Amino acid sequence: MNIIEVRNVTKEYANHVALDDVSLSIPKGCIFGLLGPNGAGKTSLIRIINQITGPDKGEILFDGQHLDQSHISRIGYLPEERGLYKKMKVGEQLLYLAQLKGLSQKQAMEKLKSWFIKFDIKTWWDKSVSDLSKGMQQKVQFVSTVLHEPDLIILDEPFSGFDPINANLIRDEILELKKKGSTIIFSTHRMETVEELCDNIALIHKAKKVLDGPKLLIKEQFKTHTYFVEYRGNLADLGELYELGQEKNLENDYKRIHIHLANHVSPNELLSGLLQRVEIRSFGENIPSMSDIFMRSVNEVPES
């Protein structure tokens, strides 16, 4: 079951196309990474899902229904450009934002209390937002995003502006929310976050979707059938089935090399070949990092 289905969505602005016939689906309960270079159209897509703007063509389904106003209270949104009312008190502000998302004052109050205890920010309630540091404001804004326990949480660059400790705190909260059944969309440039947290990804480039699916499957697709070896000895006569990369000298006469296998050759065959010739220190498959995949996909799209 998908919480979000984007079907053939096109969005045009006066002098450029932000989204060009984009379709993708976001399964329930996953952490979904929405990737793409700056200006690719991620924010446009997020704004359409948030109903801040509408698509020119195509449609969006939320939990199987056509996306409409009633879904607003089921979505939580943390925009990249963070902002709060500077002169309003933290408590009042969070109450207001929660009520706009459809909570009653009483419900909002109860939930806020537990968050204030959890984040140990009880003393902030009567503080003006402008008296808080940037990191503290981010925390407040994170609370406002997830307070109404939305089914879908959209986080645009959630870790920017946090120190490592608070970033960890937020990461744990995100995993906790996932455990409770929320779906989370990440829009980010940070590939280490994607590597660590995302189950599914989609890559948008130049208004088009170039890639989407479960992270593991995509990695599988991008494997190059290449293995690396660290060894001592001579590998020169390994055979025609193996394409050797550039050797790199390590300490104590060890060397490191990447070996590309012909299509039908298994790693075991390579390994037995190696065993006969050299002393092996380590051996493994080259799994492409998200960063590699990102770079390769973006560069493969021809310049238009």
Partner 1 sequence: MRNILLVIRREYLVRVKKKSFLIMTLLAPVLFVAFYATVIWVAIESVDTKTVQVLDESGLFSKEFKDTEALKFMYIASSIDSAKTGFKKSDANALVYIPADIIRDPKGVRIYAEKNVSMDLKSQIEKVIEKQIEDIKLSEAGITHKILEDSRVNVSSETISLSEEGEKTSSSGAATVIGGICAFLIYMSVFIYGTQVMRGITEEKTSRIVEVIISSVKPFQLMLGKIIGVALVGLTQFVLWILLSTALTSAASAVLSSKMPDNPAQMAQEMQSIQKGMPAQGMPGGNVENPVAEVLGAVNSLNIPLIVGCFLFYYLGGYLLYSALFGAIGAAVDNDADTQQFMLPITLPIIFSFVFAQLVLRDPDGTLAFWTSIIPFTSPIIMMVRIPFGVPAWEIALSMALLVLGFMGTTWLAARIYRVGILMYGKKVTYKELAKWIFYK
| CA–CA gap between residue 69 and residue 61 (Å, rounded) | 12
Q: What is the smallest separation between the CB atom of 84 and partner 1, expressed in angstroms?
A: 6
Q: Which is nearer to partner 1, 73 or 224 (CB)?
A: 73
- Interatomic CA distance for residues 54 and 10, integer angstroms: 10
Cβ proximity to partner 1, 54 vs 245, nearer residue: 54
Contact 187, 155 (CB under 8 A): yes
Site residues (CB under 8 A) for partner 1?
14, 47, 50-53, 56, 72-73, 75, 77, 79, 81-88, 96-97, 99-101, 141, 144
Minimum Å gap between C-beta 7 and partner 1 is: 20
Q: Which is nearer to partner 1, 154 or 191 (CB)?
A: 154
For 142, the 3-state DSSP assignment is helix
Query: Which CB atom, from 13 or from 299, has the smaller least distance to partner 1?
Result: 13
Nearest C-alpha neighbor of 129 from the set 93, 163, 95, 81 = 93
Contact 186, 33 (CB under 8 A): yes
- The residues near 239 (Cβ < 8 Å, ≥ 6 apart) are 273
Give the integer Cα–Cα distance in Å for 60 and 55.
9
Give the whole-angstrom CA distance, residue 223 versus residue 285: 9
At 296 the three-state DSSP class reads helix
Query: Which CB, 91 or 267, lies closer to partner 1?
Result: 91
Nearer to partner 1, 59 or 285 (CB): 59
Q: In whole angstroms, how close is the CB of 97 to partner 1 at the nearest point?
A: 7
Place of tokens 């109860």: 110
CB of 50 to partner 1, least distance (A): 4
In whole angstroms, the minimum distance from the beta carbon of 75 to partner 1 comes to 7
Q: How many helices (H) and strands (E) does the chain have?
A: 9, 15
Closest CB 86 distance from partner 1, rounded Å = 6
Q: Report whether 71 contacts 62 (CB < 8 A).
A: yes
Smallest gap from Cβ 178 to partner 1, in A, equals 21
What is the DSSP code (8-state) at residue 44?
H
Judged by CB, which is closer to partner 1: 15, or 304?
A: 15
